[in-house]
Amino acid sequence: METEDVGETSNESASSTVVKNDIHSKPTASVPLNACAGAQTSWEAENNIETILGPVDEYFKYDVKAHQSIVNAKPWEKDPHYFKYIKISAVALLKMLIHARSGGNIEAEAYEYMTTYKEVVARVGRTENVLGWYHSHPGYGCWLSGIDVTTQLMNQKYQEPFVAIVIDPIRTISSGKVNLGAFRTYPTGYRPPDESPSEYQSIPMDKIEDFGVHCKQYYALEVSHFKSVLDKRLLDLLWNKYWVNTLSSVSILAQPDYLADLTKDLAEKVEHACSSVLRMNWDSDRLEDRLAKCSKDATKLATEQLHALMGQLIKDSIFNRV
C-alpha cells in the first residue's frame, strides 16, 4: 500500500496544473456524444483502467502517522527494490497526457506547479508532500537520461519517498495507448543483479549512448491505472477537451518530423549494423541482434504510418463525404 500512495499522490498533485484554469472551457467543435463516449471507453480499455466500485478513500486518504513511520524506518535503504508498484488515477493520467501534448516536441515539466502546490497546501493546513515528478520525452521513449538520473537521485536523497515518471506524447498519438514509465534510481554504487531482458524499446541513435550508460542506474515500477465513480464528471470534462483536440488534429500532418526522423534513424541503424561486417573482429551474434532490432523498428514505423493514414481516411469519410 505504501507503494500505491507514492504513485497516486505524486501524479494527482504534480499534474493538476495542466488543466486547472481551463477545465470548464467549452470545446471548439461539435462532437457527437456517442463517438466521444465510445472513444473514451476504448481509451480506458486500451490503457487497462480499472474501475473501483466500492469505497476509494483508502486510495487518497493521507495517514500522517503511517507516512511518518515509513519515512523514519526508511525500508528502501535496506531494499533498493522496496517500491515495485505504482497506481495512477485516470484523471491524473489524462492531465499529464494533455500537458505533455501541449509541449509538442519540447519536453514538458511541472516544476512550477510543484512549487506552488507546496506553498498553497501549507496555507490550508494540509501536510501532504509532493511524492514524485514527471516530464515528457516526445518521440524517444520512456527511460531516464543522465540528467534525469541525477535529478531523481537528488530527489530520493532529500525527499523520500519519490518517484520519477516519463511520458511520450508523440508515441502515444501514434499507438493510442499512453506511453508512460515510472522509475526509481538505485543508491550510488549499487550494482543491480543481472535481469532478464525487458520488452524491447526503440531508442534513437543519438540517444542510445545516453540510454546505455545509465540504464543500470534505475529500475521500472509496474504501473496500473484506476478510476472511481467520483472521478466520472471530472474525467468526462477532461476527455471532452482531449478528444476534440485529437479529433481536430491530423496525426500524419501533426508529426511529419517524427515519421521522417524515424525513417532516418532506421537507415542509420541499418548502415551501422552493416558496417560492422567490414571489421575484422565482427560478432555474428551481435550483428544478428542489431538487425533483429532494426526489423522491429521497421515494423513499428510501417505500422505507425499505416495507422496515421487509416485515421486520416476515416476522418475524411466522416466529415468531408456527406
pLDDT in tens, 31-69: 455 667 777 888 888 888 888 876 666 677 788 888 889
Residue-level pLDDT at 8: 40
Residue-level pLDDT at 14: 38
Longest dimension (CA), the chain: 69
Give the side-chain half-sphere CA count within 13 A for 19.
25
Residue-level pLDDT at 180: 93
Residue-level pLDDT at 232: 80
For the entire predicted model, the pTM comes to: 0.70
What are the pLDDT digits (tens) for 92-119? 998 888 888 887 777 888 777 788 888 8
Q: Grid coordinates standing for 186? A: 538505485
Other beta carbons within 10 angstroms of residue 111's beta carbon come to 11
- In sequence order, what are the residues at sequence separation of 6 or more whose Cβ sits closer than 8 angstroms to the Cβ of residue 236? 40
**Residues of the chain predicted below pLDDT 50:** 1-31
Residue 311's H or E segment, with its range, is helix 284-319
What distance in Å separates the CA atoms of residue 222 and residue 89, rounded to the nearest whole number?
14
Closest CA to 170 of 100, 247, 242: 100
Q: Grid coordinates standing for 18? A: 495542466
Residue-level pLDDT at 259: 72
